[in-house]
Structure 1
């Protein structure tokens, strides 16, 4: 619903007034405590809003009881996610209901309820329908192509039911307009320069010893093994690189995800075996990285490779740039919205040979230095403080239309 439509709608229930014209109470919801892109976006945004003087609380589904492996100074609430059935439709339905049940019994109220994903947005849509909250906001990081009618309906409801949608890239802003006829304000991602830096701090050697990172060159990617990360083509490219650099290593960090990509992972490991890429030696899979270790992990690498075929934006690219690494990514949006050919090697993600050629080129000293030097200017344009200010502007516009 547009701001103008909200202003003229006289049937809206009379909810409590905004807490302050300057400071807001904001609930940010995310589907996981694990470090995926939208989760990190949620946490960094929450911290930035908190530091601007707003009262912020992060609500997150927590399926293993360990909470966030991430330092937070703002408030947060962990929503216990019970064991769920293997059927994906049933799992999503249960996760939505867990959010609904938890928030229905909460005595806390907020000026803004902001969902960062389909699951939490569906929960908020139900609470609006039940008149337990007045409205909600959703950030659409990207739009999925679901084969399941139920999941597609959930995605549609999470977008159409929101009173305000944000997008983090021009690409998805255009997609939202074309597929849903929704005009979504563009907000930005950021990078935490306090965490990600090229300055060594004596922890890098420990990580190298822990995971056997003794190769040269060392290529790093973050995000795990899954189709949209283009993991198989990256593996095939790495096999070509090894013919020129037999001591090279590829580190694929991360892996926590809601969806089961077992068939794709099985194919990945079959190909690795066929290509004689030894896991634990040439191919290093450290899994989900502890928050305290991630900055140092970037600094153990010689280059960052991210030929993804579908992303909301690509936070890890900024983290790698801030860590002083040359980066490679796909020659497509949204990456080309913020990276020029002088700042990153932009490749055809469908071609393992193109990826391999770029991987070999980017570790050459002159090109590596040039990419690092030219990419640093990107960092000043993407800060979490600026992102928080943009969010606040639109939050307050939305709230003014209910006043």
Structure 2
């Protein structure tokens, strides 16, 4: 089949990671796969090398840094949709599969993966989100919980196909690479995803301040943070609160892709206090690395992680759970986490996508 997978960025974000792994797995099964995306900020390639079996079509897009100085996020989204729409021709493809609301709005008739459901208040973003749900003719969700939200809110039935995990990449990191991060950072709790409302960053900050009472030497490390949205106000609130709490987390920002597995594997614990998720790929990668995992007590994360994770609903509970992982070795839970991560393969995800595509074609 000739398959087009569409994303909105070349930067390392969960949906983009998903798109690339799915594309490579479909191509390995013998399918003809092209990934379309916007090359933001002058990007001419993705954040990591992509298998040569996958065709890439990266459409140039100038962000507001070099565009209108007063451009809002909503206007940038509208311009993103128009830019991708003008470049994309659906005619050559048997399946057009959009991975986000920008690409779904750009391409019209398509299959859509709903990774998670957002709630926007600005008119442009709310309209974009709504069209990207109601207009596609078929839907995929990466968890049953999100499929349930889609069914309850829009009476739509989605195929549930969980994410895969690059298990070997995180499970077999070099000891010397892990030692480099430990030498640099000491004992640390890691979170990946940057500082933003959906990631529960303020709650994690509060939890870290509580944790330091019993574990003064442990550090909080925050990696990632590539995003289309403007979270400067939230980041400012976070920085003010950190100063009030007398804590100084280490904010790494985006980490080179080849360095990320060792950073994850060297962590003493992985914190995932997101307020909204569709699956939790970064957390599953931590399990693959054998790192103790503490997540927000959400139905979707209960579904995905079950007995492999510790669950916490409040900053105090988060601090307690993280403290437990720092003091109590739990090889059975760690083994359960590795087993769970290993069971989620991109090959299986690709096969299930291909079965869906064939049923639609």
Compute the TM-score of the two structures, normalised by the length of structure 2. 0.94
**Structure 2 residue aligned with 1:21:** none
Distance 1:269 1:185, change over 3 A: same
Q: 2:100 aligns with which of 107, 117, 121?
A: 117
1:43 CA displacement: 0.5
1:366 CA displacement: 2.7
Cα contact 1:198–1:324 (8 A) shared by 2: no
Aligned counterparts, 1:46-65, within 5 A: 46-65=23-42
Runs of 4+ with deviation above 4 angstroms: none
**Structure 2 residue aligned with 1:183:** 157
How much is the aligned-residue C-alpha RMSD, in angstroms? 1.5
The structure that is helix-richer by fraction is 2
2:272 is the alignment partner of 1:301: no
Cα contact 2:116–2:146 (8 A) shared by 1: yes
**Secondary structure, in 3 states, of the residue corresponding to 2:157?**
coil
**Structure 1 residue aligned with 2:144:** 170
State the distance in 2 between where 1:83 and 1:183 align. Answer: 35
Q: 2:239 aligns with which of 269, 286, 301?
A: 269
**Structure 2 residue aligned with 1:286:** 252
1:396 CA displacement: 0.8
**Structure 2 residue aligned with 1:383:** 345
1:381 CA displacement: 2.8
Cα contact 1:308–1:329 (8 A) shared by 2: yes
**What whole-Å deviation, never above 9, does each CA across 1:47-95 have from its counterpart, x for those lacking one?**
1001000011111111123321212111111111123442122111100
State the distance in 2 between where 1:174 and 1:196 align. Answer: 31
1:346 CA displacement: 0.8
**What whole-Å deviation, never above 9, does each CA across 1:302-346 have from its counterpart, x for those lacking one?**
111111110111001110011110101011121111222x31101
Gaps of 5+ in 2: none
Aligned counterparts, 1:118-157, within 5 A: 118-125=101-108, 135-157=109-131
State the distance in 2 between where 1:200 and 1:154 align. Answer: 43
Count of aligned pairs between the two proteins = 353
State the distance in 2 between where 1:287 and 1:335 align. Answer: 25
**Structure 1 residue aligned with 2:302:** 336
**Structure 1 residue aligned with 2:86:** 101
State the distance in 1 between where 2:110 and 2:324 align. Answer: 47
**Secondary structure, in 3 states, of the residue corresponding to 1:114?**
strand
Cα contact 2:42–2:62 (8 A) shared by 1: no
Distance 1:309 1:224, change over 3 A: same
Task: Specify the structure having the higher radius of gyration (Cα).
Answer: 1
State the distance in 1 between where 2:217 and 2:342 align. Answer: 36
**What whole-Å deviation, never above 9, does each CA across 1:280-322 have from its counterpart, x for those lacking one?**
xxx1111001111110111221111111110111001110011
2:61 is the alignment partner of 1:81: yes
**What whole-Å deviation, never above 9, does each CA across 1:193-231 have from its counterpart, x for those lacking one?**
23111543422333445xx312x3x10010000011110
Cα contact 2:223–2:254 (8 A) shared by 1: yes
**Structure 2 residue aligned with 1:354:** 317
State the distance in 1 between where 2:274 and 2:137 align. Answer: 31
Distance 1:198 1:236, change over 3 A: farther
**Structure 2 residue aligned with 1:313:** 279
**Structure 2 residue aligned with 1:395:** 357
Cα contact 1:327–1:371 (8 A) shared by 2: no
Gaps of 5+ in 1: 1-23, 126-134
Compute the TM-score of the two structures, normalised by the length of structure 1. 0.85
Cα contact 2:41–2:63 (8 A) shared by 1: no
**Structure 1 residue aligned with 2:76:** 91
State the distance in 2 between where 1:223 and 1:137 align. Answer: 26
2:18 is the alignment partner of 1:41: yes
